[in-house]
Amino acid sequence: MATDDVMIETRELSKLYGSQRAVDNLSFQIRRGEVVGFLGPNGAGKSTTMKILTCFIAPTQGEARVGGYDVFDQPLEARSVLGYLPQRAALYTEMGVVEYLEFTAALRAIPRSRQREKIREVAEICGLKEALHKEIGQLSYGYRQRVGLAQALIHDPPILILDEPTADLDPNESAEVIEYIREIGKSRTIMLSTHDLAEVKTACARVLIINRGKIVADGAPEDLASRSGVVRYLVTIDEKEGLFSGGSYRQAPTGAREVLDACGTVVPGASVKELPSDDRAHVVEVTVSGNKDHRKDFFRLAVDRGWNLLELRRETLQLEDVFRQLTTGDEKRSNGKTSKGKE
């Protein structure tokens, strides 16, 4: 077992498939009691990393340890301290839930005298009590994932590795599974891969973002957003009427292009684009780097032009925005002004 608080660790881990480098010199640590979101676009290396950590494939080079055990030299010991739930759990649909959990308990060398007790425990944790006496093939996909989570917990492992456990679930089922994971995470170390960033913000205190086999960000979700140094302004201008002055309304902007160009002059070099809106307003998003607050500049622009400013909002980037920037290079492609043509 681990002699310190590091429960999952990789050091210069790489995996090659021919000339393709799926995992590239990857190094990170996950400590005892952490619930860590493992994020990345398709093909980033998430599943490959998880398959290495769960002893399904061997790395090309580097080192990976789970619970203090080397996954290559000590795979049986490593597997004994972790539970694994892939995106689609390998369930025997012709078996009953109890029968299947007895089967997995036996595989985990749990004495027969304790199996029923362990099944009751995981059924309580995973919300399976009402489905225990049903056949797995009769269950909804959401309940099947609960069965998969139960089999990962049956031997009470200190470490859980969950690879997109809510994929293909409806919103209600996803919320329920994430709530179970939150509860489970109070007493275990969890590595959770998901494409749903709302789930990460709900369940995870820390995020690892991987892209092209490399870690590109590591930190708390709110910290990653604040560290980006990027701020977004939403400027909403009345499309029908200008400011009321001298007993009459001044002229409204002639179209979206006029508003886009004007907002672009406030912060030269910023990314400026129109957002969808109703037929009453032009909504412009301006994305800038730096800590300066430009709200008064946009307000002055509206006053000088005689435009009716309906809303002005300043926002720091959300985790979704940071994820896109780090994994697609949107920050490099968004320097030019764009319009959706609402003229």
* Same domain membership, residue 206 and residue 288: no
Provide the token pair at 177: 């599974």
Q: What does the pLDDT look like over 196-246, one tens digit per residue?
A: 888 888 899 999 999 999 999 999 987 887 776 788 899 999 988 888 766
Note down the domain range covering 209: 6-223
pLDDT of residue 246: 62
For residue 279, the model assigns a pLDDT of 78
The three-class DSSP label of residue 244 is strand
Q: What is the mean pLDDT of the chain?
A: 88
Which residue type does 323 have? F
The total number of structural domains in the chain stands at: 2
Helix residue ranges per DSSP H, the chain = 46-53, 75-80, 97-107, 112-126, 141-153, 171-184, 197-203, 221-227, 256-266, 295-305, 319-328, 330-333
Residue 83 half-sphere exposure, CB side, CA atoms within 13 Å?
Answer: 28
Beta carbons within 10 angstroms of residue 1's beta carbon: 10
Confidence of residue 317 (pLDDT cuts 50, 70, 90): confident
Cα dist from 303 to 115, 231, 242, 250, 298, whole Å: 73, 23, 10, 11, 9
Q: What's the pLDDT at 46?
A: 92
pLDDT tier for residue 340 given thresholds of 50, 70 and 90: very low
**Residues 185 and 113 occupy one common structural domain:** yes
Is residue 94 over pLDDT 80? yes
Cα–Cα distance, 316 to 263 (Å, whole number): 18
Question: In this structure, is residue 339 part of a structural domain?
Answer: no
Residues 138 and 63 in one domain: yes
- The CATH number of whichever domain residue 292 belongs to comes to 3.30.70.1150
Q: Give CA separation, 143 vs 103, 139, 159, in Å.
A: 18, 6, 22
Helices (H) and strands (E) in the chain, counts: 12, 16
The last residue of a domain, from among 205, 223, 241:
223
Q: Looking at the domain assignment, is residue 343 inside a domain?
A: no
- Rounded CA gap, 249 and 255, in Å? 17
Say how far apart CA 77 and CA 79 lie, in whole Å: 5
Eight-state DSSP code of residue 158: S
Same domain, 247 and 200: no
